[in-house]
């Protein structure tokens, strides 16, 4: 198998697609219709998927030349500058393979979905061009073998996200949201760039494997302590994966079209941060303090986002906060040392969150672009395929066995408990219940109960076209199966074998004894507890928001909801805090826009008056001198003669005085 | 009866008296030249000044120079100046202001210069003869046409150049359409 | 006094300084020229005085004075011609109005 060629074409095909569509797309769409414009981008993504799957298969079965530790290939020497050498190349191991599976599969399905979803939009060719650009950047990011290439791809991913969030650029809110996303990302990227510089200063190389080896070598003398390096790298991950306090951009990013939300903000780009920390796991393994920070921020983000999702009324916002919460779970898992669990959750979440977003897009499409859940309801009979897949997705995310979320979430909580991070476990436990609750709140408001849909559009509600539903079904299948495939048997499982070479040393370093899985001991108890809290969440949700599922019937009780929210001062505060996203946007506005703006104005005043004033002042002094000296030139001979006479007198006089002494 | 050897009542020689008289007239008329408002009067004062100077030359024992002074300065240059004054009269008559704005600094400078020169002159030992020496005209003529013949000829050329230059500079420009010729 | 060189020299210095003052302070161009003549005469007096009191310069003093007189005549001619030419252009003999080279 010509693996090197395959690896190279995985990102090469989408960029070719991007260039082709960017140059020829408008004319193709104008002359031959939308499908002509989208044919090439979709074809390249499908081919890329095939190549990606082949490479992943090779890597995970430890075929030649991958072996157990992965295979590196260099395309060309990018920067040959004496002591600073950077190669442009790719590195594929088990971790890369897992990410490849997720990125290429979900990318392909989203592309197919977009044929139907964007069929009314005049800018279809642009959309597919940007999607291809995004695929390239994400693929280069996971395949890269050098930190600098990762950084370039990192920025390109941010750029693609900016272009896609602001796709409907004429809408002011979309333009603002894309700007916000880019800027907040940038803040994290500063940390990442500093981290890369720190790595170079410490090790003299930017190749990922070599630099990590040198960083963790015993007795290595580091200019920048390894904890600092780890924290800087994590700050980049915080920006890209929207962890607190850089989480403010993700909900606003829902201004983009739904396929964008599904691809970028659920399944791939936001996972880049998780991938980064996982790739750097030896560094973190030697920096226990940094890992604690990662876990703390992760689990805090999880509960923060879940609390906000309780009161949101826009269907995509609920899913956005849900994504934030699940990302928090992933980082918490990384922080407590449950590396494989984090990647497991990354893959599972990618599939079921992508499914949920595409479903929400289907719902929005059915009710004619209405996104407020208060104007939905009773849709389950009218859009059955969407309903069925969304139910599957909700059950998966709630953590009901045997769907995917159960396995991955439970592994995270189990590891947290067993590694001694009880606080993380407790908070994660509560968040699991909250997740189940708000997801079934969403289901209740959208699909069950009486219909609050606008009567004018009610008769026209219809299921989505085949191109959209095929992606939904294709995503529902792994949401159901992937948990069992990768996670069974408990305590072992396929994924663990795949990722053993990547994480093995770090796990051993942390000293957490690998006790066997005790189904009838602590592990079993934890499993039962998680399932119980998830079920509790679902039951509470259907009590308040209704359900019509088989034998289960319940009426929504909106008044009861309001009653609880208004019950006492504490609940009123919590309700308002949740509705206002805990006022983080206002805080950022105050700190950076207002106060920062004042500082900027002060600096501008200083620059204008002091700095420019000094420079201009020097000029004015010169001019003033000139003006003064000019008056000597009167043009009259007698004045000049007087000058000569005075000069003569002075010379003669001083000579006399000096010679006289 | 001849002139007594010394002045009768005061004492002192006649030469000193002559010198003093001529000196006084010289300085006085010199001051008038630079102070008077009406420029014609200045010109006339200048003539008196030149005359007094000629007298001092005689006292010094250089009668030829005195003669040349009278002939050239009073006879030619002063007339020339008076002609020029007449030709450059403006209708307004003598100007209101006689002196420039810088007159006071000029005066101070002149006085200081005079003081410095006087100090220098009195402080220097010139190695002068105790008595003034009368110049013999014949000897002077001999040296003029023997040792100093080159400067003599050069001066002639200078005078020629001056005459030509003067004529050319002072020529009136032709009006357009006017032709040169006997008027 | 007639036998002291210093007296003649001081006299010459006074005349020279009077001429300087006139040159620097008068407004009319012809007055300036007259002051120049005064200066020249002052110098002439000094030369003749030196000639009279130095046995080696007996005749030379007079000769130099003669040459000075001749050159002064030529200079006065040309100077006055220039003044008349300027007067024709500017219609004024006052030198403080000849300031077109003013900055």
pLDDT in tens, A487-513: 776 666 778 778 877 887 777 777 665
Name the residue facing C96 among B100, B165, B173 (closest C-beta): B100
A590 touches chain B (CB under 8 A): no
pLDDT of residue A603: 92
Distance CA A125, CA A98 (A): 30
Distance CA A576, CA A565 (A): 9
CB A172 within 8 A of CB A202: no
Count of structural domains, chain B: 2
pLDDT of residue A519: 63
Q: How far is CA A534 from CA A401, A434, A539, in A?
A: 10, 8, 9
Q: Which residues contact A339 (CB under 8 A, 6 or more apart)?
A: A278, A281, A333, A499, A502, A503, A506, A507
pLDDT of residue A281: 87
Planar angle of CA A482, A485, A490, nearest 5 degrees: 110
Helix axes A558-565, A522-545, angle to 10 degrees: 110
Confidence of residue B112 (pLDDT cuts 50, 70, 90): very high
**Same-domain status, B21 and B81:** yes
Q: Please indicate, yes or no, if residue B17 is contained in any of the structural domains.
A: yes
Which residues of chain A are within 8 Å of residue C20 when distances are taken between CB atoms?
645
pLDDT of residue B92: 64
Which residues of chain B are within 8 Å of residue A637 when distances are taken between CB atoms?
none
Q: Please indicate, yes or no, if residue B69 is contained in any of the structural domains.
A: yes
ipTM: 0.90
In terms of CA atoms, which chain B residue is nearest residue A645?
A: B109
- DSSP-derived letter for residue A460 is G
Chain C window 83-102: which residues touch B at a Cβ cutoff of 8 Å?
A: 83-85, 87-88, 91-94, 96
C59 touches chain A (CB under 8 A): no
Among residues B90, B109, B125, the one where a domain terminates is: B90
Burial (CB count <10 Å: 0-12, 13-18, 19+), residue A322: buried
Å from A642 to nearest chain B CA? 7
CB A259 within 8 A of CB A226: no
pTM beyond cutoff 0.90: no
Q: Residue with structure tokens 């559009």?
A: A457
Task: Test A638 with C101 for CB contact under 8 angstroms.
Answer: no
Q: Please indicate, yes or no, if residue B99 is contained in any of the structural domains.
A: no
CB C84 within 8 A of CB B175: no
Q: Please indicate, yes or no, if residue B95 is contained in any of the structural domains.
A: no
Distance CA C9, CA A286 (A): 106
CB B103 within 8 A of CB C35: no
CB A24 within 8 A of CB A76: no
Question: Residue B148 belongs to what domain range?
Answer: 136-170
pLDDT tens by residue, C63-101: 999 999 999 999 999 999 999 888 888 888 888 777 777
> For every residue of A357-404, which 3-state class applies, written as one string?
HHHHHHHHHHCCCCCEHHHCCCCCCCCHHHHHHHHHHHHHHHCCCCCH
Name the residue facing A646 among B100, B109, B119 (closest C-beta): B109
Give start and end residues of each alpha helix (H) in A144-171. 147-165
Q: How far is CA B72 from CA A4, A200, B54, B80, in A?
A: 116, 100, 11, 11
Which residues of chain A are within 8 Å of residue B111 when distances are taken between CB atoms?
none
Which residues of chain B are within 8 Å of residue C75 when distances are taken between CB atoms?
162
Which residues of chain B are within 8 Å of residue A639 when distances are taken between CB atoms?
102
In terms of CA atoms, which chain C residue is nearest residue A639?
A: C24
Which residues of chain B are within 8 Å of residue C72 when distances are taken between CB atoms?
72-73, 77
Parse chain C into domains and list their residue ranges.
5-97
CB A329 within 8 A of CB A298: yes
**Same-domain status, B11 and B82:** yes
CB A528 within 8 A of CB A410: no
Which residues of chain B are within 8 Å of residue A656 when distances are taken between CB atoms?
116, 119-120
**Same-domain status, B14 and B84:** yes
Among residues B90, B110, B144, the one where a domain terminates is: B90
In this structure, the strands spanning A552-554 and A84-92 are unpaired
Which residues share a beta bridge with A552?
Answer: A549
Planar angle of CA B90, B94, B98, nearest 5 degrees: 125
State the CATH architecture for C5-97.
Orthogonal Bundle (1.10)
pLDDT of residue C93: 80
Q: Please indicate, yes or no, if residue B36 is contained in any of the structural domains.
A: yes
Among residues B71, B90, B109, the one where a domain terminates is: B90
Which residues of chain A are within 8 Å of residue C32 when distances are taken between CB atoms?
638
Query: Which residues of chain A fall below pLDDT 70?
Result: 1, 489-492, 511-520
Planar angle of CA B95, B97, B103, nearest 5 degrees: 135
CB A3 within 8 A of CB A52: no
pLDDT of residue A403: 84
Q: Which chains have 3+ CB pairs within 8 A of B?
A: A, C
CB A59 within 8 A of CB A92: yes
pLDDT of residue B94: 57
pLDDT of residue C41: 95
Distance CA A254, CA A166 (A): 10
Å from A630 to nearest chain B CA? 18
Which residues of chain B are within 8 Å of residue C7 when distances are taken between CB atoms?
19
Task: Test A638 with B113 for CB contact under 8 angstroms.
Answer: no
Task: Test B109 with A645 for CB contact under 8 angstroms.
Answer: yes
pLDDT of residue A340: 87
Distance CA B129, CA C53 (A): 5
Chain A window 642-661: which residues touch B at a Cβ cutoff of 8 Å?
A: 642, 645-646, 648-649, 652-653, 656
Task: Test B102 with A638 for CB contact under 8 angstroms.
Answer: yes
Distance CA A138, CA A36 (A): 25
Distance CA A136, CA A74 (A): 18
Chain B, chain C: beta-carbon pairs less than 8 Å apart: 254
Chain A, chain B: beta-carbon pairs less than 8 Å apart: 25
Task: Test C33 with B81 for CB contact under 8 angstroms.
Answer: yes
In terms of CA atoms, which chain A residue is nearest residue B111?
A: A649
pLDDT tens by residue, B31-87: 999 998 888 999 999 999 999 999 999 998 889 999 999 999 999 999 999 999 888
Which residues of chain A are within 8 Å of residue B105 when distances are taken between CB atoms?
642, 646
Q: Please indicate, yes or no, if residue B75 is contained in any of the structural domains.
A: yes
- DSSP-derived letter for residue B136 is P
pLDDT of residue B97: 67
Find, among B118, B54, B68, B62, the residue nearest to C52 by Cα. Answer: B62
Q: Which chains have 3+ CB pairs within 8 A of C?
A: A, B
Distance CA A442, CA A446 (A): 6
Find, among A7, A6, A3, the residue nearest to A65 by Cα. Answer: A3
Task: Test A636 with C24 for CB contact under 8 angstroms.
Answer: no
C70 touches chain B (CB under 8 A): yes
Mutation for C interface: B25, B28, B53, most C CBs within 10 A? B53
C21 touches chain B (CB under 8 A): yes
In terms of CA atoms, which chain A residue is nearest residue B108?
A: A646
Task: Test A642 with B112 for CB contact under 8 angstroms.
Answer: no
Q: Is A83 helix (H, G, I), strand (E, B) or coil?
A: coil
Å from B182 to nearest chain C CA? 22
Distance CA A299, CA A324 (A): 10
Which residues of chain C are within 8 Å of residue B163 when distances are taken between CB atoms?
74, 77
Distance CA A353, CA A268 (A): 11
Q: Which residues contact B85 (CB under 8 A, 6 or more apart)?
A: B39, B40, B43, C30
**Same-domain status, B86 and B19:** yes
Determine the straight-line distance between the first and last CA of chain A, rounded to whole angstroms.
Answer: 107
CB A349 within 8 A of CB A98: no
């Amino acid at each position: 198998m010509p693996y090197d060629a395959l690896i190279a074409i995985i990102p090469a095909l989408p960029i070719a697609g991007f260039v082709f569509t960017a140059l020829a797309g408008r004319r193709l769409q104008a002359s031959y219709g939308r499908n002509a414009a989208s044919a090439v981008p979709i074809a390249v993504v499908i081919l890329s998927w095939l190549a990606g799957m082949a490479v992943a298969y090779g890597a995970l079965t430890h075929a030649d030349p991958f072996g157990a530790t992965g295979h590196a290939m260099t395309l060309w020497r990018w920067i040959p500058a004496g002591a600073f050498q950077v190669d442009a190349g790719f590195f594929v191991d088990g971790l890369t393979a897992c990410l490849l599976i997720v990125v290429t599969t979900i990318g392909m399905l989203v592309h197919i979905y977009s044929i139907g979803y964007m069929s009314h939009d005049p800018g279809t060719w642009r959309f597919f061009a940007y999607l291809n650009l995004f695929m390239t950047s994400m693929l280069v990011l996971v395949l890269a073998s050098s930190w600098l290439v990762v950084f370039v791809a990192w920025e390109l991913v941010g750029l693609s996200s900016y272009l896609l969030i602001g796709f409907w650029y004429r809408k002011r809110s979309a333009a603002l949201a894309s700007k916000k996303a880019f800027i907040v990302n940038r803040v994290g990227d500063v940390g990442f760039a500093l981290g890369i510089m720190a790595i170079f200063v410490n090790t003299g190389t930017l190749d990922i494997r070599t630099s990590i080896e040198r960083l963790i070598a015993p007795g290595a003398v580091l200019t920048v302590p390894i904890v600092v390096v780890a924290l800087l790298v994590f700050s980049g991950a915080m920006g890209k994966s929207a962890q607190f306090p850089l989480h403010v951009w993700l909900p606003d990013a829902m201004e983009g079209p739904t396929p964008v939300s599904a691809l970028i903000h659920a399944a791939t780009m936001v996972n880049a941060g998780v991938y980064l920390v996982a790739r750097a796991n030896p560094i973190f393994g030697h920096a226990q303090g940094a890992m604690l920070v990662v876990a703390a921020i992760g689990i805090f983000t999880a509960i923060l986002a879940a609390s906000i999702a309780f009161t949101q009324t826009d269907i995509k916002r609920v899913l956005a906060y849900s994504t934030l919460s699940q990302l928090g779970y992933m980082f918490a898992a990384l922080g407590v040392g449950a590396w494989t669990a984090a990647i497991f959750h990354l893959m599972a979440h990618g599939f079921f969150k992508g499914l949920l977003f595409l479903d929400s897009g289907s719902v929005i499409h059915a009710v004619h672009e209405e996104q407020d859940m208060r104007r939905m309801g009773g849709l389950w009979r009218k859009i059955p395929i969407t309903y069925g897949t969304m139910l599957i997705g909700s059950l998966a995310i709630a953590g009901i066995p045997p769907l995917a979320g159960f396995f991955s979430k439970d592994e995270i909580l189990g590891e947290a408990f067993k590694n001694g991070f009880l606080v993380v476990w407790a908070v994660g436990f509560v968040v699991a219940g909250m997740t189940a609750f708000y997801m079934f709140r969403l289901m209740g408001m959208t699909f069950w109960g009486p219909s609050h849909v606008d009567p004018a559009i009610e008769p026209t509600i219809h299921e989505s076209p085949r191109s959209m539903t095929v992606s939904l079904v294709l995503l529902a299948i792994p949401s159901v199966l992937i948990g069992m495939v990768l996670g069974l048997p408990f305590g072992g499982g396929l994924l663990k074998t795949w990722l053993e070479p990547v994480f093995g040393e770090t796990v051993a370093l942390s000293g957490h004894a690998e006790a066997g899985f005790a189904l009838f001991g602590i592990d079993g108890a934890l499993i039962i507890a998680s399932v119980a809290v998830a079920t509790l969440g679902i039951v509470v949700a259907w009590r308040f928001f209704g359900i019509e599922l088989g034998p289960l019937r319940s009426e929504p009780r909106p008044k009861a909801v309001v009653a609880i929210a208004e019950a006492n001062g504490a609940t009123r505060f919590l309700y308002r805090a949740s509705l206002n996203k805990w006022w983080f946007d206002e805080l950022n506005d105050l700190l950076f826009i207002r106060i920062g703006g004042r500082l900027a104005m002060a600096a501008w005043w200083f620059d204008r008056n002091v700095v420019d004033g000094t420079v201009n002042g020097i000029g004015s002094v010169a001019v003033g001198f000139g003006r003064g000296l000019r008056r000597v030139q009167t043009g009259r001979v007698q004045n000049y003669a007087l000058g000569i006479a005075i000069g003569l007198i002075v010379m003669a006089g001083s000579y006399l005085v000096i010679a006289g002494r | 009866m001849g002139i007594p050897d010394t002045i009768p009542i005061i004492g002192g020689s006649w030469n000193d008296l002559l010198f003093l008289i001529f000196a006084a007239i010289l300085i006085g008329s010199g001051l008038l030249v630079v102070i008077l408002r009406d420029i014609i009067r200045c010109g006339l004062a200048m003539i008196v000044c030149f005359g007094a100077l000629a007298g001092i030359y005689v006292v010094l024992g250089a009668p030829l120079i005195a003669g040349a002074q009278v002939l050239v300065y009073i006879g030619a240059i002063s007339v020339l100046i008076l002609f020029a004054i007449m030709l450059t009269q403006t209708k307004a008559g003598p100007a209101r202001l006689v002196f420039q704005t810088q007159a006071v600094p000029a005066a101070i400078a002149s006085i200081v210069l005079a003081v410095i020169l006087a100090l220098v002159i009195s402080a220097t030992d010139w190695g002068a003869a105790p008595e003034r020496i009368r110049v013999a005209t014949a000897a002077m003529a001999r040296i003029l046409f023997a040792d100093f013949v080159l400067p003599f000829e050069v001066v002639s050329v200078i005078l020629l150049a001056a005459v030509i230059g003067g004529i050319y500079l002072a020529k009136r420009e032709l009006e357009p359409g006017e032709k040169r010729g006997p008027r | 006094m007639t036998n002291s060189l210093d007296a003649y020299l001081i006299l010459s210095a006074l005349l020279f300084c009077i001429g300087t003052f006139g040159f620097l302070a008068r407004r009319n161009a012809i007055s300036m020229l007259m002051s120049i003549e005064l200066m020249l005469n002052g110098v002439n007096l000094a030369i003749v005085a030196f000639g009279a009191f130095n046995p080696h310069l007996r005749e030379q003093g007079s000769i130099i004075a003669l040459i000075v007189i001749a050159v002064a005549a030529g200079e006065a001619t040309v100077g006055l011609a220039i003044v008349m030419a300027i007067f024709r252009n500017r219609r004024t003999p006052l030198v403080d109005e000849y300031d077109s080279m003013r900055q």
